[in-house]
Structure 1
């Protein structure tokens, strides 16, 4: 390696949304006297993605939001629902303010930034040696928080993608209702295998994000995304002659019941999608990333290891696996499935369920929303698949000390509006 490794207490490998939230939380919770490094080949700034999420008003994100709504619409063919979210809100946050807050936190915390990729992590149980690409020095850390995207430990029994394109539309006159967002609109043509919907997030009466999304196994061509978006724009009754596309957002997020390993070795902790923050049934990620950052910061402020709790309860991950199987095997239709979910439950319960915050009693109410026979069929098939996975896993060798983790340090892609 040449020069001696740089020693820090905490290394953030990957500097995107998850790491930015951690830095901001560390500064907010008054963490001091901690040597911190950020390792990422890209120093992120500006608007490279958009997140939307629900939460209670009155927290550290309030002054960063682009917009928020207390009412949303869920539309299926023949049914138009206007849902009141109180005491929750649905909120939009663009990346620029998050990156700016993280940059200020870096200055306050005296963070060392290494603009290079992490080529390897070797955890000996006491320290983690981070191999830096190029001519960068090796880094030795007490703990590593790794937010780089990576696949699950093994393929899931169901492996879909949430893939999407969004247009930021500017209108020459007021055409949008800034008091109400469209959360899901299933009037879009449904793919042969999967689910599609559009949605509309208005920032003002003249500016909004309009997006087309699919839950399905395969991506579309660029022309197909544009055609689907144009079709949804027309479905909303928007006149293209009075609109201009200011920005375009794209992304792909895994929807899988494959297991993401949140702690691959004693002193390496994964955050974001790689750490299980993405909800398999919907692709929502931001709220869980924010929780992970808060838990990490509180732990370090109290002198505890920076290990967040699982992003979602185990029973919710099981429910997601069953729902994905039911959708994948065409046992239920997507518009019907999500429509019944909102028809049979108060909107705040559905949103709290998707955040992993419901009680078992509430979970049973959510489960009763779906038709019984298809979900029983999916549950039995899921149980059989889990048994097969367990038998295969029992034949694999186990590691006493995990091997080094090697992977590209590319920026994570999160879902605009999710």
Structure 2
């Protein structure tokens, strides 16, 4: 596979360190993650209080993901029009408005609209932050930066429910939304302070390129979307399914809910501990050194999970899943950044994120279908096979050039 054009790569800075951009780059992600994590467990409870049935309450949570899925392409237009910095600010404020609508209404339809708004803001924010980091960070540090970005967001999502639990205990369900609003507005405030990206200079004698469109992006990069993009869909399907696999199999083994929660939490803790070392390996050795093992480990753990018979064996399988998922933190963003053109980058990343969200939506749906039509064990095993298919796809299509990102950097100009 030919390596992507070098024009997408910012100039290297020998004095660059991730510490220099820690607060402006990672602070908003932590706060945004806390804000969303704070309300996610509360959304179905609020819906039930508003008179929703259990299926409708579950749909309210799904609307957040649907809002993100349907707005990846519009998010690219917003980012292209306003720039990454103001797109992140707008996303934080829009999320706050959505949360405010959720807590301020007694009408289920308006509550649903608020949930959808939160999903919309998620699409805009995630695309804008990835686009910004792709341009702002030299390629030598790209995987570490994007792995840390993904890891920090996960930490925020992990902390959010715990902070919300204390607030809800003291002040009621509305306090979770208040916490969420404060967090996402804080993310917008910090994001407003990051410097704007400068437009890259045009090569001597070359005029301004024609404006990029979604159609031209699909046409010009169709090979990437039809190869690595398929791998992204498979990876996202496995990752989304893992969140249901552990608690469902724990229930199948008749483990106590507290034990199931502990196993899930320990797997999540392992997930959050390994993102930076994995990013460093991707930068130093290449993307495939992490992306392929991530899927192989998750696939093997899921194939073995139906063979587990108790707490200890399930815990070992769950920890393996957490480790495999953790080392893959940021890999989808990194591979997308490696192939994104500088001109029309937001459109490319919008399509890239759309493919990821399609996988995230289809994975749990396939697990549910197989569990209902066959058995839960077959559903989990099938998810493991999808992970192996993802590993094979990535192993075949991730460029092998001996350099970090599958491309060589050339001096600009």
Band of TM-score, shorter chain? under 0.3
Higher RCO (Cα < 8 Å, 6 or more apart): 2
Higher-strand-fraction structure: 1
Using structure 2 for the length normalisation, give the TM-score: 0.22
